[in-house]
Amino acid sequence: MGWNFGDIMDAVGPNVPPEAPAFIHGARIINWGEANRITNNLARALIARGAQPGDKIAIYMRNRPEYLLSVAAGWKARLTHVNVNYRYTPEEVWYIFDNSDAQTVVYASEFREAVEQIRPRLPKVKSWIEVGAEGDIAAFAEDFDTLAQEGNGAPLEIARSGDDQFFIYTGGTTGMPKGVMWAHHDLREITLQGARKLGPVPETLEALAAFTRQVGAGSRILPAPPLMHGTGLLTSMGVMMGGGCVITLEGANFDAVELLTAIDRHKPQTLVVVGDSFGKPLLNALNAAPGTYDVSSIVGIVSSGVMWSLEVKRGLLEHMPGAMLNDGFSSSEALGMGASVMTKDSEVQTAKFMLGERCRVFDENDQPVEPGSGKSGMVAIGPPNPVGYYKDEEKSGRTFRVIGGVRYSIPGDWCIVEPDGSLTLLGRGSACINTAGEKVFPEEVEEALKTHPSVEDALVVGLPDEKWGQSVTGVVRLAPGAVLEEDVLRAHVRKALAGYKTPKRIFATADTFRSSNGKADYPAARRVAESALG
C-alpha cells in the first residue's frame, strides 16, 4: 500500500514519550500525549461530519500549532491538505477554496471577516472550524478546541493508502495558483532517498515504531517562513513525522529578534529561512547585539525559494561556526533539483548548486545539455514526481513530460551546467516574479493597474532587490491628459490584490513596450524601469 502519513503518525506518536514537546508557540507547549489525542479526536470528528477519503481540508491561518495539528488530523482521516495564503484578498481565498473543492475549512478567527464574505459562494464546504478564543466562535462555525477535546483520543484504526494525496497550492509560472498533487508515498520516498545515504532507515511501519521507541523524541525545528508555503511546511512535516518538536513564532510578521529569542530559549537544532529575505535581517540582528543570544544549538539552516547570497551565508557562519547551511533548489512540483551546502570551511558561490541525482538538463529540443558546453537548458527532475496539477490537464501536460521513456517535472528553471556538473541558475523562462518567496504573475498586476482610469497600458517586471530578492515594478503608459500619481496607483492595486503583489515602484513612459503583434515586450519595460532608477 506504500507509505501513508496518517499511518506514520500512528506508528510514531504513541512511541514518543508522552511528556515530550511536540509543539511550542510562545509560552504554549503541546506535548506528544496531547497531540496524539487532539489529532485522533479531530480526525474522528471530521469523518463524523461527512468527510470522505480524498475530500479536501483547507487550512487558513498563520503559523501556530493548530496548523500542523489540522494537517495531521487530515492525514489520519484520509483527507487532502490544501494550503491557503493568508495574505490573499477574500476573492483570492475564495478561488483556492472553490478550485480545490474544499469540504472542510479550518481557519483562524482573525480571518473570520474574509470567510464571512465568501462563505455564501462555497456550497461544497460542509464544515467550518474556527481556531479562536474560547466562547468567541462564529455562529456558522464549530470550535476547534471543542472538537479536539471530545472523544477518547484513541487511534482510528482505518485502512489508508500510499496513494492518498497531499496538495501544495503554488503560483507556479503562469496563471492562477495551481494545486500540485503529491501522493503520500512519493513524498515520503524522496525523504527516505536522502536519509538512506546516511545509513539504514526504517523501511516498514513496524520498524519505524521500534526505532521511535529506541531513540525517543526527535529533533527540534524552528520554521521562520509561513507554514502555508512549501519550504516551512515540508521541513516541519518531516520533523513532526520523526517524533520531534516544531517551534513557531507568535508575531504576525517576521521579527529577527523574536526569532533569536526563541532560539536562545528553546534550543532548536534546525532553522528554516527563505534566502536573504530572512537571512539578512537575521544577520543584522546578530551583528547589532553580538553575544546576546545563544545560537549554539543550531546545527543546520535550511533555505529554499529565494536567492541566498554568499555574503549573508558567510556572515551567519561567523555567529554559528558549527552550522551547515543547506540551500535547496526546489519548487512545489519539483523537489530536489539541486542543493548547495556551505560550511565555515567550504564556501559556495551564490546561485550555484550541485545537480540532484534525479535531475537532468535539457535544451528546447529535449536534448541533454553537456557539462561545460556553455549552453543553457531547463532543469528536469525524474520520479518520484507529483501526479499533476489538480483539475488542469493542459498545464500538467506542459510541466510533466516524458523524455526518453522517463516522466520528468520541468517547471521552467533555466541554468548552465558547469564542467564540474554544478548548476548556475539563470532564472525562470517566464516573467514570473519571486519576491520574498512569493510568486507574482505580472499579468495579474498589469490587469489591476489597467483598471485605473489614468492607465492606458501596463507591464510589470521584477527588478533585483537586496531585501526581497526581486521587487515588483510597474511601467505604465498613461491615458491622454493623465499624470502619474504613483501612490494612487499602488493603493488601487492594493484594493484588488494581496499586498506583496503591489508594485514597490511605478514609472510612466511614452515609449512602446509591446511588439507589433501586441505581445508584451518585457525587456523594453525593464529598460524603462532600470533607466528611471538610474
How do beta strands 406-409 and 400-403 pair?
antiparallel
Q: How far is CA 222 from CA 14, 21, 239, in A?
A: 23, 13, 10
* Residue pLDDT, tens place only, 260-316: 999 999 999 999 998 877 898 899 999 999 999 999 999 999 998 766 888 889 999
Question: Residue 320 is inside which H or E element, if any?
Answer: none
Q: What is the pLDDT of residue 457?
A: 85
Of residues 433 and 257, which shows the higher confidence score? 257
What mean pLDDT value characterizes the chain? Answer: 93
* Residue pLDDT, tens place only, 97-137: 999 999 999 999 999 999 999 999 999 999 999 999 877 99
Reduce the DSSP state of residue 170 to 3 states and report it.
Answer: strand
d(CA 525, CA 529): 6
* CATH code of domain 351-428: 2.30.38.10
- Bridge partners (DSSP) of residue 362 are 368, 378
Cell of 498: 494581496
Q: What is the pLDDT of residue 517?
A: 39
Average pLDDT on 226-254 reads 96
Tell which residue, 1, 8, 119, 2, has the closest CA to residue 58. Answer: 119
- Bridge partners (DSSP) of residue 29 are 24
d(CA 11, CA 76): 12
The domain made up of 433-533 has a fold known as: GMP Synthetase; Chain A, domain 3 (3.30.300)
Class of domain 5-253: alpha beta
* Residue pLDDT, tens place only, 38-86: 999 999 999 999 999 999 999 999 999 999 999 999 999 999 999 999 9
d(CA 356, CA 322): 25
Please provide the size of the chain in residues. 534
Same fold yes or no, 351-428 and 433-533 = no
Phi, psi for 164 (deg, rounded to 5)? -55, 145
Domain boundaries, given as residue ranges, for the chain = 5-253, 351-428, 433-533
